[in-house]
Amino acid sequence: MSDHLHVAEPGKQFRLEHHAPEATPGLSEDEGEALLPELRLRLDELQELLYADRRSAVLVVLQGMDAAGKDGTIRSVFREVGPLGCMVANFGVPTPEEAAHDFLWRYHLQAPARGRIAIFNRSYYESVLVERVHGLVPKSVWKGRYGAINRFEALLAAEGTVVVKFFLHVSKEEQRQRLQERVDNPKKRWKFREGDLDERKLWDDYGAAYEDMVNECSTETAPWHVVPADHKWYRDVVVARALIRRLEALDLRYPEAAPGIVGTIVI
């Protein structure tokens, strides 16, 4: 993780407890805040290039506990990109139609077309997180899903979609403060669900599930970034940098003009 992108190295044993949610290695808050504007602008440039180039797509997967900052990350990192440049897909409790299909079906429907960025605000990984923790499916089923997910992501990658996955890792104390803020602030209270407290009681079970998710599904083509997320500014720097790195590696180009276009005078 020496490049500060916090990649969970594929094949190497990942232990959540070795990763501090409050870490901000190599950066002060002032430095981080100063970096963000240019990172956002660069991401916007790359998005336009991605769209013009039309050979690749980008799927951003965001996972994390309640109040880990998924919404805030989208707001901040994609501030310059805007709604024209990317689509956010939210996934709630499956509808009967969705539940009648395989667990990847509804996610595949929302996969980005070439030229586009889709952000999955929670994703198919919930099938090995909430469904596992609450025992909604037997162990034999969720165990098999890691492989299915890896094969799904390999398919996307082989067909031109860059899959970039961020696990926003917050501490239990930071979550407590953020949930309390939702209770105390009338403008934020609507975000608070009593169920959040029940989920919080299962903190350790979720920790184990996230740990397995990273161990099983951090692959060469689609590695997990385990993002220290107690400090919002650091979280945003890591996510933006990781996306920029992956986009720059694509060698995106503005297409050549069709023959005859250059020099055309519009009358």
Q: What is the dihedral of CA 150, 4, 168, 219, to 10 degrees?
A: 10
Beta carbon nearer to a copy of itself, 72 or 207: 72
The nearest distance, CB 9 to a copy of itself, in angstroms, is 31
In the complex, minimum distance from the CB of residue 266 to a copy of itself, in angstroms, rounded to a whole number:
4
Minimum CB distance to a copy of itself smaller for 28 or for 185: 185
Beta carbon of residue 262, minimum distance to a copy of itself (angstroms, whole number): 7
Smallest distance from a copy of itself to CB 147, Å? 32
CA distances (Å), origin 2, targets 5, 22, 120: 8, 17, 27
Specify the residue, 88 or 141, whose C-beta has the smaller distance to a copy of itself.
88
**Six-digit token string for 106:** 């509804």
Q: Taking a C-beta distance cutoff of 8 angstroms, is the pair 61, 165 a contact?
A: yes
With respect to a copy of itself, which residue has the nearer C-beta, 28 or 177?
A: 177
Q: Which is nearer to a copy of itself, 19 or 200 (CB)?
A: 200
Contacts with a copy of itself, residue ranges (CB under 8 A): 52, 71, 74-75, 78-79, 81-88, 119, 121, 176, 179-180, 183, 186-187, 189-192, 194, 197, 200, 254-255, 257-258, 260-267
The least distance separating a copy of itself from the CB of residue 73, rounded to whole angstroms, comes to 10
Min dist CB 124 to a copy of itself, Å, is 20
Euclidean distance between CA atoms 57 and 60, whole angstroms? 10
CB nearer to a copy of itself: pick between 91 and 146: 91
CB of 202 to a copy of itself, least distance (A): 14
Comparison of 158 and 258: residue with beta carbon closer to a copy of itself:
258
How many other CB atoms sit within 10 Å of the CB of residue 142?
20
